[in-house]
Amino acid sequence: MTGATERPRVQLALPRSLADPAGAAEIEVDALTVGEALAELARLRPELAPRLLGRDGRLLSAVAVYLRGQDVRELSGLATPLSSRDRLELVPALSGGDGPAPEPRAFRPEELARYGRHLVLPEVGPEGQRRLAASRVLLVGLGGLGAPAALYLAAAGVGELGLADFADVQTSNLQRQVLYTTADVGRPKVEAAADRLAALNPGVRLVRHPERLDRTNALEVVRRYDVVLDGSDNFPTRYLVNDACVLAGVPDVFGSVYRFEGQVSVFDARHGPCYRCLFPEPPPPDAVPSCADGGVLGVLPGLVGLLQATETLKLLLGVGRPLRGRLLLVDGLDLGFRELALTKAADCPVCSAAPTITELIDYEAFCGVAVGDDDAAAVGAVELRGLLEAASPPLLLDVRSREEYDLGHLPRARSVPLEALAEHLEELGQAGSVVTYCSGGTRSSQASRRLRDVGFRRVRRLSGGFEGWVEAGGPVTTGPGAD
């Protein structure tokens, strides 16, 4: 005998006008669809039935039901499927007691001009523009992906943009992060971004999140937004954002880039797979080079970031076919686009029917990057300059490619590309202490670990790499140097 289908537990959020006499504004029910949830509500609160459903069982036009910012009428109506931890918000028409309900606020002349191209689009129109104005989007990372996306979301009239980034603007950012100018170098990204976006569209509310998102604060931040656009550039943050979005029931608009390639998807565990369904485990630490080490064509993050912005606007407007359950692959060299179908993993630890991750975890440890010894062995640019002026300076190892080295390197640094490190171990063993560096830190971390693994005891790496050294005003030598 086949058992009954297990129904997910969902929340119904009721306005004061529908709350029970005791003031309870939230009710939990078990339901597979919106229709089942409303029927269960009517069973528990019979006096509400005439205000919700007609005699034919259809949803009355005088009440709107929203599922994460979208009217269910624009989804599948009463047949819209529900997932565990979904939250339905009921919005009834109110008389107000003083005549008919007020008309929606008219657009000001400046808004008619600003959003005119939206207002004439049937898929947007006045109602869609008002929906955008009532929406909230969190941008995690204001770098190559987040910068162009932020500009277009602000220009589109999204009502509130959350700006999450703890970094400062660096000169190396300007090749692709078009939100900033040379005058912004050294400023916190959230401040520089807020100034630029406010100048572009003063009507957008800008919420700054200058703190690093982690397991202690991410869920609280994510819950206040309708959509999260993930423009992060590291695996711990991607898994953090994914898990927080799943737990909060918020769509995660994902993007990533490397050299000439990009990826875009919408991970929405309520209607399809999440990031963990695609990548259950992160790659080994340092196995995937960063853009600082591998490079990226400056316009490619702009292309991918605008695709993310497009998907975000589609979600907010409830139009088109979002990239749920689909991974878009971008090839900048051939200017080709391929699409792969994604499926929800039955054993996904966070979005399956029986999740093993029900709260945020330590994502640095999960991704294998929380290596205390490596952090302790990092040396900053200022400290390194002092060490190089000492009587017994350390041996500087530039583990980048020879081509990168010839373009510019630290004075007295020796070129030993990472892939050739094993060939030089015997001669390097004569050095008293060693400091490794690369462009940003990925390859130097690998080099330091390899040296320690074979017995080198005094090995440190330059924090921030060559880029950080230049930003700190350190001297640079060009052309061939020591081998």
Instruction: Answer yes or no: is pLDDT of 4 > 50.
Output: yes
Active site residue 351: no
The predicted pLDDT at position 185 comes to: 93
Domain final residue, candidates 310, 344, 366? 366
- Co-location of 250 and 141 in the same domain: yes
Res. 273 pLDDT band, cuts 50 70 90:
very high
**Percentage of the chain surpassing pLDDT 90?**
52
Question: What's the Cα-to-Cα distance from 115 to each of 108, 124, 128, 129, rounded to whole Å?
Answer: 11, 10, 11, 8
**Is residue 123 assigned to a domain?**
no
Res. 189 pLDDT band, cuts 50 70 90:
very high
Query: What is the model's pTM?
Result: 0.70
The predicted pLDDT at position 20 comes to: 57
**Which of 59-63, 194-198, 298-302 is predicted least confidently?**
59-63
**Percentage of the chain surpassing pLDDT 70?**
89
Decide: helix, strand or coil at residue 467.
helix
- Co-location of 412 and 277 in the same domain: no
**Is residue 116 assigned to a domain?**
no
Catalytic one of 274, 351, 367, 438 = 438
The answer to whether residues 234 and 72 touch, using CB atoms and an 8 Å cutoff, is: no
The predicted pLDDT at position 24 comes to: 54
Instruction: Answer yes or no: is pLDDT of 9 > 50.
Output: yes
Catalytic one of 274, 291, 348, 351 = 291
Check residue 296 and report its DSSP letter. Answer: B
Average pLDDT over residues 46-61: 74
Domain final residue, candidates 69, 92, 115? 92
Instruction: Answer yes or no: is pLDDT of 55 > 80.
Output: no
Task: Specify the residue for token string 């485990």.
Answer: 281
- Co-location of 278 and 161 in the same domain: yes
Q: How many degrees, rounded to 5, is the angle at CA 235 between CA 307 and CA 82?
A: 65
- Co-location of 274 and 402 in the same domain: no
**Is residue 14 assigned to a domain?**
yes
Report pLDDT digits (tens) over 156-173.
999 999 999 999 999 989
Helix axes 189-200, 146-156, angle to 10 degrees: 30
Q: How far apart are CA 249 and CA 350, in angstroms?
A: 12
**Is residue 356 assigned to a domain?**
yes
Res. 99 pLDDT band, cuts 50 70 90:
very low
The answer to whether residues 316 and 132 touch, using CB atoms and an 8 Å cutoff, is: yes
For the chain, what is the domain count?
A: 3
State which residues form the domain around 15.
9-92
Give me the amino acid identity at 274. C
- Co-location of 356 and 236 in the same domain: yes
- Co-location of 193 and 302 in the same domain: yes
**Which of 96-110, 285-299, 460-474 is predicted least confidently?**
96-110
Instruction: Answer yes or no: is pLDDT of 120 > 80.
Output: yes
Decide: helix, strand or coil at residue 140.
strand
Average pLDDT over residues 291-314: 89
Give me the CATH number covering residue 61. Answer: 3.10.20.30
Using alpha carbons, select from 405, 397, 389, 401 the residue that is nearest to residue 458. Answer: 397
Domain final residue, candidates 345, 366, 387? 366
The answer to whether residues 450 and 434 touch, using CB atoms and an 8 Å cutoff, is: no
Give me the CATH number covering residue 460. Answer: 3.40.250.10
- Co-location of 168 and 280 in the same domain: yes
pLDDT, averaged across the chain: 87
Give me the CATH number covering residue 167. Answer: 3.40.50.720
**Is residue 113 assigned to a domain?**
no
Report pLDDT digits (tens) over 416-472.
998 888 888 887 876 678 999 998 788 888 888 888 888 888 888 998 889 889 888
Instruction: Answer yes or no: is pLDDT of 153 > 90.
Output: yes
Average pLDDT over residues 63-89: 83
Q: Is the dihedral of CA 471, 477, 482, 483 positive or negative?
A: positive
The predicted pLDDT at position 56 comes to: 66
Q: How far apart are CA 118 and CA 374, in angstroms?
A: 51
Instruction: Answer yes or no: is pLDDT of 23 > 60.
Output: no
Instruction: Provide the phi-psi class of 426: left if phi over 0, else alpha when psi is between -120 and 50, else beta.
Output: alpha
**Is residue 119 assigned to a domain?**
no
The predicted pLDDT at position 375 comes to: 52
**Which of 103-112, 183-192, 307-316, 371-380 is predicted least confidently?**
371-380
Active site residue 438: yes
Instruction: Answer yes or no: is pLDDT of 2 > 90.
Output: no
**Is residue 97 assigned to a domain?**
no
> Which DSSP string do the residues of 93-110 spell out, in sequence order?
---TTSSSPPPPPPPPHH
- Co-location of 159 and 292 in the same domain: yes
The predicted pLDDT at position 1 comes to: 42
The predicted pLDDT at position 137 comes to: 97
- Co-location of 361 and 460 in the same domain: no
- Co-location of 335 and 200 in the same domain: yes
Report pLDDT digits (tens) over 103-114.
677 899 999 999
The predicted pLDDT at position 61 comes to: 65
Torsion of CA 181, 308, 254, 265, to 10 degrees: -150
Task: Specify the residue for token string 């994502």.
Answer: 363
Could you give phi then psi for residue 182, rounded to 5 degrees? -60, -35
* Helical spans, DSSP H, in 217-280: 218-222, 235-248, 275-278
Higher per-residue pLDDT: 430 or 396: 396
- Co-location of 312 and 249 in the same domain: yes
Q: How far apart are CA 230 and CA 307, in angstroms?
A: 12
The predicted pLDDT at position 94 comes to: 54
Q: How far apart are CA 248 and CA 32, in angstroms?
A: 19
The answer to whether residues 291 and 233 touch, using CB atoms and an 8 Å cutoff, is: yes
**Is residue 18 assigned to a domain?**
yes
- Co-location of 197 and 315 in the same domain: yes
Average pLDDT over residues 12-25: 65
**Which of 228-242, 369-383, 384-398, 414-428 is predicted least confidently?**
369-383
> Which DSSP string do the residues of 256-323 spell out, in sequence order?
EEEBTEEEEEEE-TTTS--HHHH-SSPPPTTSS--HHHH-B-THHHHHHHHHHHHHHHHHHHT-S---
